[in-house]
Amino acid sequence: MRSIAVVAALALAGCANVAMVTGSWQGKKMDDVAAAWGPANSVQTLDDGRRVYGYSDTQGAAIAPYTCKVWFVVKDGVVQSSRTEESMMGSCSTILANKAKAN
């Protein structure tokens, strides 16, 4: 629950550091991420047995959409690391703020 509060506070303040927000899940159970973020859009299993859970969200007008992709690398049910990709600067901050409002 503390991680949800961190995401909400940072994202709603408009100064979310995306790496800090997604990194706050490191060491936490993936079940907790899924409870806060909903089901992942994709799940892949790596050769070494780790799983990569992908979240993707696109918002904005049809002529100028922006996309945020977040991946969590998980071993034995625990988040080991995360990575983000934005289609334009600030995309993930906006989308994370909307996720925080929804939760």
- Residue 79's pLDDT is 96
Q: What is the pLDDT of residue 94?
A: 67
Share of the chain above pLDDT 70, in %: 71
Print the domain residue range for 58.
2-102
pLDDT over 90 (residue 10)? no
Residues paired with 69 in a beta bridge: 56, 85
pTM of the predicted protein model: 0.72
CATH of the domain at 29: 3.30.1450
First to last CA, the chain: 11
List pLDDT tens digits, range 43-87.
999 999 999 999 988 877 777 787 888 999 999 999 999 988 887
Give me the number of domains the chain comprises: 1
